[in-house]
Amino acid sequence: MRNGRRQKIAILTGGGDCPGINAVIRAVTKKAILEHDMQVIGVQDGYDGLVADSHRVLTYDDVSGIITLGGTILGASKSANPYKYPVKVRGGIELRDVSRTAVRTVKRLGVSCLVCVGGDGTLGIAHRLFKDGVPVVGVPKTIDNDVRGTDITFGFDSAVSIATDGVDRIHTTAQSHHRIMIVEVMGHRAGWIALHSGIAGGGDVILVPEIPYDTEKIARWVKRRLSLGRRFTIVVAAEGARPRGGTEVIRKVVETSADPLRLGGVSFVLAEELESLTGLEARAVLMGHLQRGGPPTPFDRVLASQLGSAAVDLIAGRKFGRMVAVRAGEVTSAPLSVAAGGPRVIPRHHRLLETARSTGAYFGD
């Protein structure tokens, strides 16, 4: 209680959806109410809700039973950046800085802290809002597992589980028809999902953005497998994988977004090239948004609950401008400036790269 009035906090979920967000909303809301008698306001559709002044009070009953649900009950937006907000101008779209509107909304709501749940883009915006005077606490969220300052993000385990199931299912059809099967997974410009699901699913070739590949070398690898009696090859490719000296495959450009490039389609390009070079049939399978959907794994439910609870502890301690994080297996925190520093990619000599190579996986280099 402050000045005899009930303390209020707000929470928003930005960027792409992923399993476990609702578990965070639940943990923040329940702990804030049960332990601190706070009022919790849910901001609708990420930062869009701050610009459009769209929000609602979250009660204990509102968040009961949502831990098993995928998605986010508050909605999200990948294009709503208050510092580069799409505004219709003379029949077109112009990106403008409307951050003052967002800051005014926070102040008008009278909240003592804004909890921002999202990846490096969302947390980068949160860091700018903090510098502009908004008390902020961040919670790292992304299936890509690429937020700096934390060893893992919730949503990643669920995505790897789904991607691995896809790779598992591809094995039987690859074996039956003696094909090259390429499974494309998400990850943006980081290869964590491809690396983990490639190892777990027994991928023969794993392609990640951090290691540019040589298509002709992959073709020779496939032919060598064929000469040894291995009549099929499973390739697990990150959407951001790129050939040596080349660039990623861009599926779409969204002009209204602050991050306009949408990656995807490398599996189809690679399938055509390998089919031509090897004479074998090659097929591409795009896992796509399946990796974002459905209920979170038990691991992600537990992790999201821990992070949501820790976020309330930061608020209670008035430790603003930080995000909750996991390092060396312990829940801790890190400055938002670290998360705003760009994506966390796979280090060149990461132990999992060595594990994959030592068990026969090839990275196309």
Task: Return all residues near 62 (Cβ < 8 A) that are at least 6 apart.
Answer: 29, 42, 73
Rounded CA-CA distance 31/1 in Å is 15
Rounded CA-CA distance 290/335 in Å is 32
User: Whole-model pTM?
Assistant: 0.93
Rounded CA-CA distance 70/22 in Å is 7
Q: Is-same-fold flag (8-154+296-339; 158-293)?
A: yes
For the chain, the structural domain boundaries read 8-154+296-339, 158-293
Rounded CA-CA distance 254/300 in Å is 30
Q: What is the 3-state secondary structure (H, E, C) of the chain?
A: CECCECCEEEEEECCCCCCCHHHHHHHHHHHHHHHHCCEEEEECCCCHHHHHCCEEEECHHHHCCCCCCCCCCCCCCCCCCCCCEEEEECCEEEEECCHHHHHHHHHHHCCCEEEEEECHHHHHHHHHHHHCCCCEEEEEECCCCCECCCCCCECHHHHHHHHHHHHHHHHHHHHHHCCEEEEEECCCCCCHHHHHHHHHCCCCEEECCCCCECHHHHHHHHHHHHHCCCCCEEEEEECCCCECCCCCCEEEECCCCCCCEEECCHHHHHHHHHHHHHCCCEEEEECHHHHCCCCCCHHHHHHHHHHHHHHHHHHHCCCCCEEEEEECCEEEEEEHHHHCCCECCCCCCCHHHHHHHHCCCECCC
Enumerate the active-site residues.
144
Domain 158-293 grouped into CATH 3.40.50.460: yes
The answer to whether the CB of 144 falls within 8 A of the CB of 121 is no
What is the pLDDT, as a whole number, of residue 149? 96
Residues in the chain: 365
Distance linking the first and last C-alpha atoms of the chain: 60
pLDDT of the chain, 365 residues: tens digit per residue: 445 578 999 999 998 889 999 999 999 999 999 999 999 999 999 999 999 999 999 999 999 999 999 999 999 887 789 999 988 888 788 889 999 999 999 999 999 999 999 999 999 999 999 999 999 999 999 999 999 999 999 999 999 999 999 999 998 888 888 899 999 999 999 999 999 999 999 999 999 999 999 999 999 999 999 999 899 999 999 999 999 999 888 877 776 665 677 788 999 999 999 999 999 999 999 998 899 999 999 999 999 999 999 999 999 999 999 999 999 999 999 999 999 888 999 999 999 999 999 999 999 99
Question: How far is C-alpha 219 from the chain's CA centre?
Answer: 31
What is the pLDDT, as a whole number, of residue 1? 43
Q: To which residue do tokens 């706070």 refer?
A: 38
Q: Give the C-alpha distances (Å, rounded to integers) separating 44 from 11, 115, 320.
A: 9, 13, 22
Rounded CA-CA distance 313/317 in Å is 6
What is the pLDDT, as a whole number, of residue 64? 97
What is the pLDDT, as a whole number, of residue 4? 57
Q: Which CATH class is domain 8-154+296-339?
A: alpha beta
In sequence order, what are the beta bridge partners of 286? 184
